[in-house]
Amino acid sequence: MSRPGAVLDLWKKQLGAIPESVWEAVDVETLILADNGLESISADIAQLKRLRTLDLGHNRIASIPDEIGDLVSLDRFLYLHDNRLTELPASLARLSRLRYLNISENAFAVWPEAVSGMAGLKELRATDNRFSEIPAAMGRLIGLRELHLRNNRLATLPDEIGQLGELRLVDLRGNPLVDLPASLARLPRLEKLDLRWTPTLPDLPWFEELETRGCLVYR
């Protein structure tokens, strides 16, 4: 058994599959399973009720079990980057206290609806996927401070992005942008808008407005 607040670090142990003993570590708060060649996650993960950080990055995982949505104590980090994911279970919307989510370097083409329900997010990383559209429901993430969407297939963003009044950073590098909503200029805390490697995007009149007030607009 693990001690309260314990970290179970199994990073790069060449596991191939998760040992059953991991699910017995019911007091663990941080579980690191990154870089182990994992292809699946057992529903038994629901037993880890005290988990606050979960790292499943750099594996070969193609699907996430619904039971991860039962881990309502997850309030720090959830790393799912560099896997083979194409969707996320709706149950992840129950992780309303989670502050950081990384779903970069997967095979998403459609925005996972659950993400728009994760109201506690402060930082969202969804780079290097195949997203061509971000839904209006993103406007519900009113506590979001950083939004990383580099290297997708986005032509624009929804006007509702202007509802994210806590946003400090928006990274849109490497997208085939043709337009952006003027609501971005109304974000009171925006400090950096990164638009490098977007040659299809024209200069928009409100860029100057952002720069005048001190926001860095990288082109």
pLDDT tens column, 91-125: 999 999 999 999 999 999 999 999 999 999 999 99
212 found inside a domain: yes
CA distance 29 to 50: 5
Residue 1 reports pLDDT greater than 50: no
In this structure, is residue 97 part of a structural domain? Answer: yes
Report yes or no on whether pTM surpasses 0.85: yes
pLDDT at 15 over 60: yes
Q: What is the mean pLDDT of residues 189-195?
A: 98
pLDDT at 157: 98
DSSP for the chain, written as a single string: -PPTT-EEE-TT---SS--GGGGG-TT-SEEE--SS------GGGGG-TT--EEE--SS------GGGGG-TT--SEEE--SS--S---GGGGG-TT--EEE--SS---S--GGGGG-TT-SEEE--SS------GGGGG-TT--EEE--SS--S---GGGGG-TT--EEE-TT-------GGGGG-TT--EEE-TT-TTPPPPTTHHHHHHTT-EEE-
Residue 11, pLDDT > 50, answer yes
* pLDDT value of residue 197: 98
Structural domain includes residue 2 = no
Please report, for the domain that includes residue 64, its CATH number.
3.80.10.10
Residue 1, domain member (yes or no): no
Is 47 a domain residue?
A: yes
- Owning domain of residue 92: 7-218
At 128-175, the pLDDT tens digits run: 999 999 999 999 999 999 999 999 999 999 999 999 999 999 999 999
User: Above pLDDT 70, what percent of the chain?
Assistant: 98
Residue 88 belongs to a domain = yes
pLDDT score of 5: 72
Rounded to an integer, the average pLDDT of 172-191 is 98
Asked whether residue 146 is domain-assigned, the answer is yes
**What b/e string do you get for 88-102 counting C-beta neighbours within 10 Å, with b at 16 or more?**
bbebbbbbeebbbbb
Please report the pLDDT score of residue 83 as a whole number.
98
Total domain count, the chain: 1
Question: Has residue 59 been placed in a domain?
Answer: yes
Q: Of 54, 58, 55, whose CA–CA distance to 39 is shortest?
A: 58
Instruction: Read off the pLDDT of residues 19-57 as tens digits, 9 standing for 90 and up.
Output: 999 999 999 999 999 999 999 999 999 999 999 999 999
User: What is the reported pLDDT for 3?
Assistant: 55
Query: What pLDDT is stored for residue 2 in this prediction?
Result: 45
